[in-house]
Chains A and B, each alone.
Chain A
Amino acid sequence: MIAALSLPHLLLADFGLSAALLAFCSALYAIPAALRKDARWLASARHAAIAPFGLLTLAIACLEGLLYSGAFGLEYVHAVTSRAMPWYLRLTALWGGQAGSLFFWCWLLSGFSALVMLRNWRRERDLQPGVTIVLMVTLLFFLGLVIALENPFNKLWVAPGGSVSAGTLQPVGALPFAPADGRGLNPLLRHPGMIIHPPMLYLGFIGFVVPYAFAIAALVVGRRDDAWIRVTRRWTLVAWMFLSLGLLLGGRWAYDVLGWGGYWGWDPVEIAAFMPWLTATAFLHSVLIQEKRGMFKHWNMSLIILTYALVVLGTFLTRSGVLSSVHAFAQSAIGPWFFGFVALLLCVSLGLLLKRWELLRGDNALDSWLTREGLFLLNNLIFMGILAACLWGVMYPMISELFTGQKVTVGPPYYERTTGPLFAALLLLMGVAPLAAWRAGAARRLGRAFWKPALVAGLLPAGALLSGITQLAALLGLWLAALVACVTLYEFYRGAQARARITSSGFWLSFAQLVLRNRRRYGGFTIHLGVVLMAFAIIGIELFQSETQATLSYGEQLSIGKYQLRYDSLVEFPASDGRVITRATLNVTQDGRLITQLFPRRDFFTDSQQPMTIPAIHSTLADDLYVLLVGWEPAGAGGATFKVYVNPLVNWLWAGGLVFIIGTLVATWPERWELQTAAERARALHLPARSVTRGV
């Protein structure tokens, strides 16, 4: 007798699949309904666009139930969970594999769609059909892929010959089959950073669908005004924040788990997630110019389209076998579909853009490079330069094979050398742009504002030079980062000081009011400060990382930098979840004083025969002492080998990331006047309510 799925599991799986199918139908119905020029049909389309969220929530709940209770008769549950895994890992295994993560994608997308339908419905009435259609087409595409090609509800079947297959429907003559245990999630992915990193990245990716939907809808109806772009900007900021957070958490995971003290490896998959971030960052800057001066309209539209295309391309690159990468990409049949989808969306979007070209002419013209808008343009060009470098590097093997028949690849040195100077140029712009005036650009005036912070910032590299640092790249980097810090902090100080004078209140109260009343401006500056901290960290770890290795017996020491490490003992013991842990104890002293004990270890997962090296880290603001246990003699003999890194300033990276995210939150939070209803605003302005609904 072969074990089969239990009845509750069978019901859950079929119920979940049915809910997913219903969601698909509902989204499908919403498209023709939205095309009808009739308010009641449109209202119906709106409901049909909200419904998939409820239905997919049910389906996700079913899948979570199956994962939690170990329904190993399902292909997906069997592939990503096992009995030995704790409950929270069984739940987060939802995005541990291909089918589940795509399904999770769909659910998040339906959530965003519902949110748009609920929140932005009243305001941009003429955009509603277009927005609804774009969102639902995207949902249909991804949900269709899941249902047809990567179905997480697929059951396992065993044929009379004994061969096991997976599918939704029972093959003729086959019987349902439920293995006693699953294969379990890869131990390397059992890290808190890895548990929240994918959802953040997905939220970021999917968030960019909404700005794209608004942009396309605005192109379709031929909107002349920029009101829609305000809605779009907020959504872009939200998506951008999640994407930034996802990238940061991925870096932290790599630092903790991959065991070489690196946080970013210029891996194709990392780059795939980084590229939409670049275009979105460029957009967030240049959209300011459109709002203030009515310029760069074609450009902004192109950036929104490009960002979305890169999101879909990124999903495609990570989910197909095109690139060789450290990251996961199960080979599967979905590649060509993605390629077709990207091609289609680019054709349609660019066609629409060309059709509305005249309508999007700028209201003003650029006068000089040294104006605020001129420098923003420069900033955009440099962001595009970094994007081009990334794109060229990722595509290089394919392009070279096309033309020479031989695959040629580029690695981290290529990316470091091309993007390094461009990042430095961005830092310089970050320091100069806040000093430049709108419209009128005069070199002399800019020079007058620039020399003081430039000089003050020079103190830092001067100090570094005195302490023996002679690398030109480090000195230049330190000067640039210090320059941005000076200019940005001075902007805060100047604003608060002026406000304190006018309102005659205290400095810190004025400071808080200043930030709260101008959230975008000062949120943006806070983000710049986060970037400064990260720049310091990157200079530290990239240029000044030191490493050593040694085989020690009990009681022996090794030293690195200011630290001495004494190897005291090695123990081996089994853990409750089937791991065997080998753990060394090291006493760390600095200037003869004991500062901490470190326990680098190696876990061996017996069920998957997979070892996992877990570094021990002593973190301070100055540096990280990062120790790996890389080998040992059989028990009792005592000798063990350690690889030790000192990573200067690396914690500034995480601190900078935190400041960065806080800044984004400040910039995203709605201002008070935006929270007022149209009626309240009209009352305040003594206008009829209708005339101001468009304003926001």
Chain B
Amino acid sequence: MTTTPEENTTATTRPARTRFLVGGGLLIAAIVYLILTTAAGTSTYYYTIEELRARGGTAVGEPVRISGAVLGDSIVYDADALELRFTTVNIPGEQSEIDARGGLAAVLHAATTDPRAVQLPVVYYGPRPDLLRHEAQAILTGQLGADGVFHADELLLKCPTRYEQELPQQSAAR
């Protein structure tokens, strides 16, 4: 955007021009203010599981988003209570690092087979998503509880191993 419409008002009389500039300026300022304050108020940190663990006690209760690989054997689903528990394993957060290690599918597979990788138990209340399976990538929004379990409000899954086109699926606790 290199231009604002005000610049077309070459022939406008001076008071009218001032009115437009002031009015438009106020409106733009209001929109910018709305965007910046809302972004600051609703943003969440995006951590890797390792980073979250490293933060220790300070991380408890802080709204964050994390991403990890799902361990298939750890999935426990109580359909009566709609309580879903599983364990996620740390994967790198940087796209460049994921690429360097042979892509997302390879990284997920390596994470689930690495006994030394940092793990994080997760609990989520809601229907079990169709895409929750071993070696899926889980992107979780929620907060770490004092019990050391991550309480997810939103659960998003991707399975890059099976199909070229990754699978869209979202579960949101609404």
User: Are A and B subunits of one complex?
Assistant: yes
Q: A96 — which chain B residues lie within 8 A by C-beta?
A: 165
Given the interface pairs A408-B45, A612-B130, A641-B82, the reply to whether A422 lies near B31 with Cβ below 8 Å is yes
Residue-wise interface mask of B (146-169) relative to A, using a CB-CB cutoff of 8 A (1 in contact, 0 not):
000000001010101011111111
Given the interface pairs A260-B171, A365-B9, A417-B42, the reply to whether A630 lies near B128 with Cβ below 8 Å is yes
- B138 CB to closest chain A CB (Å) equals 11
Q: Are B2 and A353 in contact (CB under 8 A)?
A: yes
Query: Residue A366 contacts which of B9, B39, B104 (CB distance < 8 angstroms)?
Result: B9
Given the interface pairs A298-B3, A610-B130, the reply to whether A547 lies near B166 with Cβ below 8 Å is no
Q: How far is the CA of A335 from the CA of B52 in the complex (A)?
A: 30
Q: Are B95 and A369 in contact (CB under 8 A)?
A: no
B76 within 8 A of A: no
Q: Are A411 and B141 in contact (CB under 8 A)?
A: yes
Q: Are B170 and A258 in contact (CB under 8 A)?
A: yes
Q: B141 — which chain A residues lie within 8 A by C-beta?
A: 411
Q: A381 — which chain B residues lie within 8 A by C-beta?
A: 5, 24, 27-28, 31
Q: Are B168 and A417 in contact (CB under 8 A)?
A: no
A596 within 8 A of B: no
User: Which residues 280-336 of A have a CB within 8 angstroms of B?
Assistant: 286, 295-299, 302, 306, 321-322, 324, 326-331
Given the interface pairs A628-B127, A631-B79, the reply to whether A366 lies near B16 with Cβ below 8 Å is yes
User: Which residues 343-361 of A have a CB within 8 angstroms of B?
Assistant: 350, 353-354, 361
Q: Are A260 and B35 in contact (CB under 8 A)?
A: no
B58 within 8 A of A: no
Query: Residue B45 contacts which of A259, A298, A406 (CB distance < 8 angstroms)?
Result: A406
Number of interface residues of B (CB under 8 A): 66
Stretch at the interface among A41-49, A182-190, A234-242, A448-456: A182-190
Q: How far is the CA of A417 from the CA of B104 in the complex (A)?
A: 33
- B123 CB to closest chain A CB (Å) equals 16
A569 within 8 A of B: no
Q: Are A265 and B28 in contact (CB under 8 A)?
A: no
Q: B44 — which chain A residues lie within 8 A by C-beta?
A: 408-411
Given the interface pairs A321-B95, A392-B39, A630-B128, the reply to whether A326 lies near B169 with Cβ below 8 Å is yes
Q: B5 — which chain A residues lie within 8 A by C-beta?
A: 286, 296, 298-299, 377, 380-381
Residue-wise interface mask of B (70-98) relative to A, using a CB-CB cutoff of 8 A (1 in contact, 0 not):
00000001011010000000000101001
User: Which residues 492-509 of A have a CB within 8 angstroms of B?
Assistant: none
Q: Are A362 and B166 in contact (CB under 8 A)?
A: no
- B173 CB to closest chain A CB (Å) equals 9
Q: Are B127 and A608 in contact (CB under 8 A)?
A: no
Query: Residue B166 contacts which of A330, A400, A417 (CB distance < 8 angstroms)?
Result: A330
What are 28 contact pairs spanning A and B, CB under 8 A?
A: A80-B164, A183-B162, A188-B169, A299-B5, A302-B1, A324-B139, A326-B168, A331-B99, A353-B3, A364-B11, A365-B12, A365-B16, A366-B16, A368-B19, A382-B27, A396-B39, A409-B44, A410-B43, A411-B44, A418-B39, A551-B80, A610-B131, A610-B162, A613-B130, A628-B127, A631-B128, A641-B79, A643-B127
Residues of B within 8 A of A (CB): 1-5, 7-12, 16, 19-20, 23-24, 27-28, 31-32, 34-35, 38-39, 42-47, 65, 67, 77, 79-80, 82, 93, 95, 98-99, 103-104, 126-128, 130-131, 133, 139, 141, 154, 156, 158, 160, 162-172, 174
